[in-house]
Amino acid sequence: MKIAIIGAGLAGLACAIECERLGIIPDVFERDESVGWPWPCTVHWLNVLQRQMGDIRESLREKYRLDLKPINELRTLKMKSPNKETSIEGKLGNIMTRGKHRESVENQLFTLLKKTPVYFNRAADYKELSKKYDYVVVATGKDTAAKEMGLWIDYGVVHLRGGLVFGTFESTSSTVYFNTRYAGQGYARLAPWSSTQAIIGLCNIGCSEYEMDRLYTNFLEEENLAHLEFYYKFSLPIFSTGRVSNFKSGNVLLVGRSAGLTERLLGTGAVEALISGILAARAMIQDLDYESLVRPLQKHVENISAIRAPYENLDNEGLDRLVAMINTPGIKQAIYNTGINFIDMAGGILNKIKS
């Protein structure tokens, strides 16, 4: 069986690893010169968003044989609205790194490949490859293929700006900022890389591209971050979000963000990318139905969106009330430090009501 995988990101590499383990050596095409995003980044794997898995890392290890190491545990999550602040403590999840860095998730995955050739500097086209291979897996982190195949349902765009800064930080503590003045319906975050470096990011929903410079400056000034020394700055291309109506068309399978498996606020999507890549490999090689294997991932992402939807309409006063409410001891404890999978419970109900 001949399998081509386009994109050596999380979904593509996880797919290649599983193909190897099932006895098929795929060809991987990556447009960049090496694995990992060109910009350094820390991302969160938040337990509260993945309760259906139990412990995320343990579940990836046991169910999917992926043992991925974080740079730190996430033990404190601070949430700030314009006039309120709350802090949640506990075993909240893990801080992972992305990019060219040796410890990035992409590089950890890459070292697990034994025989698979990865053709770097090769931007591949799924239409061409689908004529030469039995299966083509689109793992480009882009919506282009799904759009061309008429499978993409658009949810709108996200603007991203940020960088790596020097300073003094608690390496297990992240801060999330909610403020419509600079983030619109999105948010900003400061996530540590170490005790001396952190990633700052503004994820704006609702603004136009031209406003982004001004909003980013507002964010840094309003949150007293403008004095920090930047080691690296990034301004990412407009990030579209959406869902797909089908995950497969002919011999082409969509995985990860190319399959719309990233939530609009970008707080989740990495784990879904890994799992969808693995499920695609199993479907192709073991002749399983990819659509039914991958649907629960899409449902979970949609449940997160459903929970978040009421928040999208809040003004700054409403955000203050929300943060004050989360600060209520019983609520805070119930959301973050129990094993209850309230996302799929409440999100599932909200989605049923909607439909």
Ligand X SMILES: Cc1cc2nc3c(=O)[nH]c(=O)nc-3n(C[C@H](O)[C@H](O)[C@H](O)COP(=O)(O)OP(=O)(O)OC[C@H]3O[C@@H](n4cnc5c(N)ncnc54)[C@H](O)[C@@H]3O)c2cc1C
Complex with ligand X: residue 121 or 292, whichever CB lies closer: 121
Q: State whether residue 169 is helix, strand or coil.
A: coil
Rounded to whole angstroms, the Cα distance separating 200 from 203 reads 10
Contact between 141 and ligand X (CB under 6 A)?
Answer: yes
- How many CB atoms are closer than 10 A to CB 141? 19
Span near ligand X by CB under 6 A; candidates 9-17, 164-172, 297-305, 347-355: 9-17
The two structure tokens encoding residue 150 = 């008429």
Distances (CA, A) of 275 to 63, 109, 139: 10, 13, 12
- What is the closest distance, in whole angstroms, from the C-beta atom of residue 15 to ligand X in the complex? 9
Complex with ligand X: residue 200 or 322, whichever CB lies closer: 200
Complex with ligand X: residue 12 or 242, whichever CB lies closer: 12
- What is the closest distance, in whole angstroms, from the C-beta atom of residue 262 to ligand X in the complex? 4
Contact between 70 and ligand X (CB under 6 A)?
Answer: no
The two structure tokens encoding residue 179 = 């403020």
Contact between 140 and ligand X (CB under 6 A)?
Answer: yes
Q: State whether residue 248 is helix, strand or coil.
A: strand
Contact between 256 and ligand X (CB under 6 A)?
Answer: yes
Cβ(28)–Cβ(118) below 8 Å? yes
Contact between 142 and ligand X (CB under 6 A)?
Answer: yes
Span near ligand X by CB under 6 A; candidates 243-251, 254-262, 291-299, 322-330: 254-262
Q: Segment 263-292, which members bind ligand X (CB under 6 A)?
A: 266-271, 273
* One residue of 4, 5, 7, 137 binding ligand X per CB under 6 A: 7
- What is the closest distance, in whole angstroms, from the C-beta atom of residue 187 to ligand X in the complex? 11
Backbone angles phi, psi at 13, to 5 degrees: -70, -40
* One residue of 5, 60, 124, 281 binding ligand X per CB under 6 A: 124
Rounded to whole angstroms, the Cα distance separating 64 from 282 reads 11
* One residue of 9, 70, 99, 242 binding ligand X per CB under 6 A: 9
- What is the closest distance, in whole angstroms, from the C-beta atom of residue 10 to ligand X in the complex? 4
The 157-196 contact track toward ligand X, x by CB under 6 A, reads: ---x------------------------------------
Complex with ligand X: residue 81 or 258, whichever CB lies closer: 258
Give the largest CA-CA distance in the chain: 59
Helices (H) then strands (E): counts for the chain:
12, 15
β-pair partners for 163: 200, 233
Q: Segment 32-61, which members bind ligand X (CB under 6 A)?
A: 32, 41, 43-44
Contact between 10 and ligand X (CB under 6 A)?
Answer: yes
SS (H, E, C) 253-293: EECHHHHCCCCCCCCCCHHHHHHHHHHHHHHHHHCCCHHHH
Sign of CA dihedral 133, 135, 140, 143: positive
Closest CA to 345 of 308, 310, 307, 312: 307
Q: Segment 100-119, which members bind ligand X (CB under 6 A)?
A: none
Q: Which residue has the tokens 């390496």?
A: 171
- What is the closest distance, in whole angstroms, from the C-beta atom of residue 202 to ligand X in the complex? 10
Closest CA to 17 of 239, 282, 318, 339: 282
Kindly give the residue spans of alpha helices, DSSP state H, lying in 75-179.
105-110, 126-132, 144-148
Considering CB under 6 A, how many residues would be counted as binding ligand X? Answer: 34
* One residue of 16, 26, 27, 30 binding ligand X per CB under 6 A: 30
Complex with ligand X: residue 265 or 323, whichever CB lies closer: 265
Q: State whether residue 117 is helix, strand or coil.
A: coil
Complex with ligand X: residue 186 or 320, whichever CB lies closer: 186
* One residue of 20, 25, 31, 75 binding ligand X per CB under 6 A: 31
Q: Which residues bind ligand X (CB under 6 A)?
A: 6-12, 29-32, 41, 43-44, 123-124, 139-142, 160, 201, 239, 256-258, 262, 266-271, 273
